[in-house]
Amino acid sequence: MMQQISILLVVLPLLAAPITALVRGKNLAWLITFVLTVVCFGISLWILMDVTTGRVIHYELGGWQPPWGIVYTIDSLNALVALIVSGIAAATMLYAPRSVEKEIPDHLIPMFYAMFQLCLLGLLGIALTGDVFNLFVFLEISSLSSYALISLGKNRKALFASFNYLILGTIGATFFLLGVGMLYAASGSLNMADIQTRFAEFENLQLVSTALMFIVVGIALKAAVFPLHSWLPASYSYAPSTVSIFLAATATKVAVYALIRCLFDVFPMQYWLEMLPTIMITLGSVAVIYGSVRAIQQTGMRRLLAYSSVAQIGYMIIGIGLINESGMTSTLLHLFNHALMKAALFMVAGIYLLRANSTELDDLYGLGKDMPYAFSAMVIAGLSLIGVPGTVGFISKWYLLEGAMQTDHWGVVIVILVGSILAIAYVWKLVEALYFAAPQKPRVQNVDSGSDTIAKSPMLMLVATWLIVIANIYFGIDTELSLGAASDAVRSLLGTGA
Amino acid sequence: MQDKLILRVVAKWLIPVIILFAFYVQFHGDYSPGGGFQAGVIFSSAFLLYSLVYGLESAIKVLPDHWLKVAACFGVLLYAGVGVVAMLMGGNFLDYSALASEPVAGQHIGIILIELGVGITVGSVMLLIFFTFARRVLPK
């Protein structure tokens, strides 16, 4: 029973997307998407509850036995990632209707929602599958739909950003596929578990180490790991707000998950232990500092948040590179926690975009005073981004520090502290512009004439934002769900007892 | 190209043959090389030829965009629907063996329907892409 329900996470969006694309009314399209995301959220919560007891769900597609057929293996890590994706999708959809109405032309709205569902389908598929080629297919489904989603942004630069992402994303996908192809040539199998068990048979082949490099570089591009991050800031800052919320909170996280899955469950850890960790820690550290410094320099709210994402991905990569239980736990926790913070912050940015038609900081001077609910939500999410105790950001940073100290990486400890101070600086920059700076003369040409959108923030948007903000605090205090799933997953990844 | 008599006559003869070949690739796909994707592309190429020779306007008259969109969605639904029916009949998603009382017959039914879904979607999406780009280049 549970098995058949688990596949619904992929099947339901697949059924709903074409139906939504054919629907005429924008409200109906939204309703279908909203119900779908809530159902998916419910299912993944249920699955997570089921697998944290140590059970692993296996699902053979089409009834074909692995290693020949495609199999979905769902353990706590898969379930945690699926929960993040579907949870953020549900919150985004609660938030969406007003913002989509404003940013997307009416006749494209059903298509927009259909595309959103396809993106959800791809991300959930990556989270569930136990087959490397299937992972590539879902990676492409989610990427292709996100190119289209980003290009729908109102600003003309959205098209350029989307095209840039398309080129780089395709290169990333190609690298990944080449890697998978080489691995298939060496092993004759695409099933993750099968490749891992028979790894000793072909580990001496040159082909296998080449495959590893291609796979790592390909996924790192998708995850926007430091030198390969250049597509991210433009895409997130010109995409429609709904899209930037969803993608910022989930897309890179899912790619980081794919990286973890490939490194630990396709290639055995011993195989790359000598080369990769140092590279990962170095690149992660550079990402933290570089991303934060660039974030401070930005003059647009969404661009600032996007650069901060680059820095936060750095923390996750450091966590993997530390190869110890606390470091790994912090990475997995940060997948969850960072999704919560960034979703909240981009939601606030979306509210500003709706009401002030801009997310450039100098257009927003002093607006925080007029929009207390949105502003206070931003402050709390910002504190969480810095890592103040009592918020989720603190938990993951704490584990990361612990992991760095246990493994004597004192450089990393300094990077984390400096990164946090820089985070204070860029969050303060937002607070200062929105609250303390003197309001400038309103730019009348930016406001649609005759609309009252500037008068008050839509209720649904505020509710969704505050739900996420409350989750930021709740999971900072009661870590049972997130930490439980994360440490369970870490134990199975590192193979340190069940 | 409406004034090129030879092209028009040859196209008139070729188009039915291309479509017939598309159907052959489609429905013989479970025994021989081919299948939905290839058939969809061949099928759409017949209409590409038609619109190149007889003009975009007349091609769009035969296949309006709206219907192509419906067809594209229908193909996906057919694919997913077969999978769901298999689930309802007691198998896993896309387990064709569950579709009929005998597994081999079930596999036949399943693969034919799935490939039909793929063919319909690929064919109509190919045409949609072509029409979208063609409209940008050609004066209306």
Q: Which helix (H) or strand (E) is B108 found in, with range?
A: helix B103-137
Tokens 């709390």 belong to A380
Residue A338 scores a pLDDT above 60: yes
- Name which of B72, B93, B98 is nearest A7 (Cβ-Cβ): B93
Q: Which helix (H) or strand (E) is A294 found in, with range?
A: helix A276-297
Q: What is the mean pLDDT of chain A?
A: 88
Contact A338, A471 (CB under 8 A): no
Residue B83 scores a pLDDT above 60: yes
Tens digits of residue pLDDT in A237-288 = 899 999 999 999 999 999 999 999 999 888 888 888 888 899 999 999 999 9
Tens digits of residue pLDDT in A9-44 = 999 999 999 999 998 888 999 999 999 999 999 999
- Name which of B69, B92, B96 is nearest A59 (Cβ-Cβ): B92
Answer whether B76 sits within 8 Å of A14, measured CB to CB: yes
Domain count, chain B: 1
Which of A20, A22, A64 would best serve as a mutation to test chain B binding (most B beta carbons within 10 A)?
Answer: A22
Q: Compute, in degrees rounded to 10, the torsion defined by CA atoms A357, A362, A368, A373.
A: 40
Which residue of chain A has the CA closest to B76? A18
**A59: which chain B residues are within 8 Å (Cβ-Cβ)?**
92-93
Contact A299, A361 (CB under 8 A): yes
Q: What is the average per-residue pLDDT within A409-436?
A: 91
**B71: which chain A residues are within 8 Å (Cβ-Cβ)?**
none
- Name which of B73, B80, B83 is nearest A22 (Cβ-Cβ): B73
Q: What is the pLDDT of residue A168?
A: 93
Which of B66, B74, B94 would best serve as a mutation to test chain A binding (most A beta carbons within 10 A)?
Answer: B94
- Other C-beta atoms closer than 10 Å to the C-beta of A444 total 7
Tens digits of residue pLDDT in B40-74 = 999 999 999 999 888 888 888 888 888 999 999 99
Contact B34, B116 (CB under 8 A): no
* Percent composition of chain A: helix, strand, coil (DSSP 3-state, to 5): 80, 5, 20
- By residue range, what is the domain housing residue B113? 5-137
Q: What is the pLDDT of residue B107?
A: 87
- Name which of A4, A18, A61 is nearest B73 (Cβ-Cβ): A18
Q: What is the pLDDT of residue A313?
A: 93
Answer whether B69 sits within 8 Å of A7, measured CB to CB: no
